[in-house]
Amino acid sequence: MDELKLKETYLVLFKICQGLFDEALSRFFFQAYLVDYYVYSSKCFPGEPPNHIGFSYILPSTLQSSVGLVTVPITSTKHRPIGQLTVEYVVIKPIPDYPWDTSISYAKHWEQRWSGLDVGHRGLGTSFKFEMKNCANVRENTIASLKTASYHGADMVEFDVQLSKDLIPVIYHDFYVSISMKRKKQIEAMDMLEIPVKDLTLEQLHLLKDYCYPADSLGKVLYFVDKAEQRVNKLVYHTAEGREKNPRFFDEDLEDHQPFPTLQTVLQELEQHVGCNIEIKWTMQLKDGTFELNHPFDLNIYLDIILKVVLEYGGDRKIVFSAFNPDICAMIRLKQNKYPVIFLTQGVTLKYPTYHDPRCQTIPMAIKHALAADILGINVHTEDILRDPSQVKLVKDAGLIMFCWGDDNNDKATIQYLKKLGLHAVIYDKIDEYNAKEVKESIFLVDARESQKELIALAHCSQIPQTQISTPLNTEKECYLDRPSTTISFTKNSIGGENIYSVPTLKISANCEENKEINEITKDFSTCANTFGNLAANTKNVSNLICGQSTALSEIYGEDEAAKDCL
């Protein structure tokens, strides 16, 4: 609030930055606000009330966007201008037309054993850096990168989400892409044009990865490209490739290696036990007043579209939202209660420009915002932790979960040091190289396996008929491209009113007696006979069970005590 000194009894020009109030309104855009100003005279007596010096009106016409800045005049009681009031506001709307279910909420849920998690940064790691030794050998933020990280033991994978021009959530880190342009006179020379991702539709983004482009297929936004040459190799580049004019990944033509996968595709393609740290990309204001990107989207609409996709396709997957924008963290927390939110912060750093918002500048300020917004925790820059490790205790004493990110994490010794400090998750590149796990499995896969054992034990004890048999969860470590494709579906089991973590199950058709696959399944079950009792002698019962006929577990496993102990 700015106030000019007009009389000796009034205050001098000053600025104060503080939150005025939070208000829940059903008709926000029809609500006006009256702000009155009172000051104490410099010659007032004890107990003397303050003087009413002026007022301001904030009209609904000035509050049309979801986030904004409003400046209104301060008018004295004699109708003279004496200053101005500047207000930053955030409007948080509920997701429209969404069937809410409050029976499940993980907004503040974090198991104690989930500590020191390994999180793959953009999947297998950043693939565009000046130092090539720290670059992943798979393009970042692609299905291939995310899958490869999961098969090298990542507990979670971190990736970035933003909207295309036609409002479809896509996975991509930078706000811009570089488009190659051939000069008219110099055919071999190429210039790069940087275009915001938000200005290209999903179809255009996907066309950019092709080798051949039909005439006028990209629309007027890409008329800068010389289309006389119908075959343009790798038209799209990461901004780092464009600036260095050193393109990478020319020979990776498989679909999983292509940039700009949709958020829906990622959630459908990744195995259910792989956790996701979804970073919501949004422009930030720097301390010098400039913005990273001039964004045209309304923030409520932007978040609603992303959240609807996650709520529809997230299933029982462990998902955490994160964002550098503190208002986005507060908005996601209030818009849904199923998934937790963590606040990304740079803290004190010499590697990146400082953000304008003071909540983003230090770890203590991030803690205060996380507590005020009632979110799960914060995700801090490792540079600030290494500068002052005592801040880890500060975060944990506040009851918050703590992740960390940054290039400093790309070192085995640093990763182990951070885990010893008690950080709940470490986000780093090249997880195939730096992951120190002896068994390359996600902790959520281990949890799912334990839940599966408990489910079988409960079913055996209660003699509940089973209509399908769960297959062992996949623990293979080879590259996902070499794995045989197996179609699986996920079911959520419930026994005694308790939800059990979803596990993959094979579904066989009713005529499976004539199917050759049943013989292979019977062989697999027979192989386990030594462990599970008299299974081999009851393959007929197994066949009946898989085909949909209810058979008690005791008929399959017999009364062998070793089998009971194993279960």
Higher pLDDT, 366 or 218: 366
Q: What is the pTM of this model?
A: 0.72
CA angle 348, 349, 353 (to 5 degrees): 115
SS3 34: strand
Q: Say what percent of the chain tops pLDDT 70.
A: 65
User: Where does 215-315 have alpha helices with state H?
Assistant: 239-244, 263-269, 299-313
More confident residue, 236 or 378: 378
What pLDDT is recorded for position 449?
A: 86
**Per-residue pLDDT at 163 exceeds 80:** yes
Q: What pLDDT was estimated at residue 228?
A: 35
**What pLDDT shows up at residue 209?**
56
At residue 485 the predicted structure's pLDDT band, cuts being 50, 70 and 90, is very low
**Region 77-93 average pLDDT:** 93
Nearest to 152 by CA among 408, 430, 497, 472: 430
Q: What is the DSSP string of 64-108?
A: -SSEEEEEEEEEETTS-EEEEEEEEEE---PPTT----TT---TT
Q: Which string of b and e fits 452-489 if b means at least 16 CB within 10 Å?
A: beebbebbbeeeeebeebeeebeeeeeebeeeeeeeee
Report pLDDT for 14: 46
**Nearest of 122, 176, 112, 131 to residue 422 by alpha carbon:** 112
Residue 182: predicted pLDDT: 58
d(CA 471, CA 488): 10
| Alpha-carbon 71 to chain mean position | 34
Summarised one tens digit per residue, pLDDT across range 397-408 is 999 999 999 999
Residue 1's pLDDT is: 41
pLDDT at 547: 39
Q: What is the pLDDT of residues 119-158, one digit of tens each?
A: 999 999 998 775 666 788 899 999 999 999 999 999 999 9
**Pairwise CA distance, residues 238 & 16, whole Å:** 42
Question: What is the structure's pLDDT at 288?
Answer: 92
Residues of the chain with CATH 3.20.20.190: 117-170+268-447
Predicted confidence band of residue 463 (pLDDT cuts 50, 70, 90): low
Q: Are 448 and 273 in contact (CB under 8 A)?
A: yes
User: By the 8 A CB rule, do 427 and 98 touch?
Assistant: no
Spatial separation of the C-alpha atoms in residues 123 and 137, rounded to whole Å: 11
Mean local confidence (pLDDT), 88-116: 90
In whole angstroms, what is the distance from residue 280 CA to residue 272 CA?
21
* Amino acid in position 487: T
Q: Which residues contact 128 (CB under 8 A, 6 or more apart)?
A: 135, 140, 238, 239, 240, 241, 248
pLDDT score of 300 more than 60: yes
Residue 37, by phi and psi: left (phi above 0), alpha (psi -120 to 50) or beta?
beta
Q: Confidence band (pLDDT; 50, 70, 90) for 254? A: confident
Window from 19-23, 51-55, 67-71 with minimum mean pLDDT? 19-23
Query: Any idea which fold 117-170+268-447 has?
Result: TIM Barrel (3.20.20)
Minimum mean pLDDT range among 28-42, 343-357, 416-430, 507-521:
507-521
Determine which helix (DSSP H) or strand (DSSP E) holds 555, and give its type and residue range: helix 553-557
